[in-house]
Structure 1
Amino acid sequence: MPTLSAEVADETAADLEAVADLLGDDEETTIEKALQEGLETLRIRVAVERYQTGDVSIGEAADIADCTVADWLEIAHEKNLTAQYTPEQLTEDAATAIDL
């Protein structure tokens, strides 16, 4: 497993220690959990932003968010996103579904 290092502010280090204590984990495990959850959140945020601007289709947003189309539709519903779905995208997604 690769090792990463980063310098953080004293306040962030104190927060890390406090959260590790709350979770009953060591700091390394807490960092890994926080990083994983943060990356998931960032992927969804980017997918939402690109979907809202019409830059990506439902399928592409799902790929960015690293989830299924069904999961993406749930995320979009939770975030009250307006559908950005053209007839061409419907045709493309239908073809993809048939290929599965």
Structure 2
Amino acid sequence: MPSISARISDDDEVELEAVIELLDEDKSTVIRKALSEGLASLRRRVAIERYQSGDISVNQAARLAGVSIAEWLEIAREHNLTSQLSPDDLDADAAAAREL
């Protein structure tokens, strides 16, 4: 497993120590979990922003977010996103769904 090194602020160090205590886990495990959850959150946020602006289709948003189309539709519903789909997008998304 590769290792990384990063500098963090004093406030982040305090927060990290608090979460370590809360989870009762070692520092490396907590950092790995935080990184994994943070990266997934960032992917979803970018997918939401790009879908909302009409830059990407449902299928593309799901792939960008790293989730299934069904999961993406739930995310879109939770964020009250309106459909940005054209008839061509619907055809492309249906074709992609058939390939799954």
Q: What TM-score do you get using the length of structure 2 for normalisation?
A: 0.96
| 1:12 is the counterpart of 2:12 | yes
Output aligned runs, 1:1-100, within 5 Å.
Answer: 1-100=1-100
Partners of 1:64 and 1:90 in 2: how far apart? 17
Question: How much has 1:96 moved relative to structure 2?
Answer: 1.6
Distance in 2 (alpha carbons) for counterparts of 1:53 and 1:67: 19
Matched to 1:83, the amino acid is S
- Aligned alpha-carbon RMSD (Å): 0.8
Question: Structure 2: which 5+ runs fail to align?
Answer: none
Instruction: Give the C-alpha shift of residue 37 in structure 1.
Output: 0.7
Distance 2:97 2:44 in 1: 22
C-alpha distance in structure 2 between counterparts of 1:11 and 1:92, whole Å = 47
- State the 1:93 CA deviation: 1.1
Cα pair 2:47 2:64 within 8 Å, conserved: yes
Supply the distance in 2 between the matched residues of 1:38 and 1:12 (Cα, whole angstroms).
14
* Matched letter for residue 77 of structure 1: R
Give 1:10 shift: 1.2
Equivalent position SS for 1:85? coil
User: In the TM superposition, what is the alpha-carbon distance from 1:99 to its structure 2 partner?
Assistant: 2.5
Percent identity (aligned): 53
Structure 1 unaligned spans of 5+ = none
Q: Secondary structure at the match of 2:77?
A: helix
Which consecutive aligned stretches of 4+ in structure 1 deviate over 4 angstroms post-superposition?
none
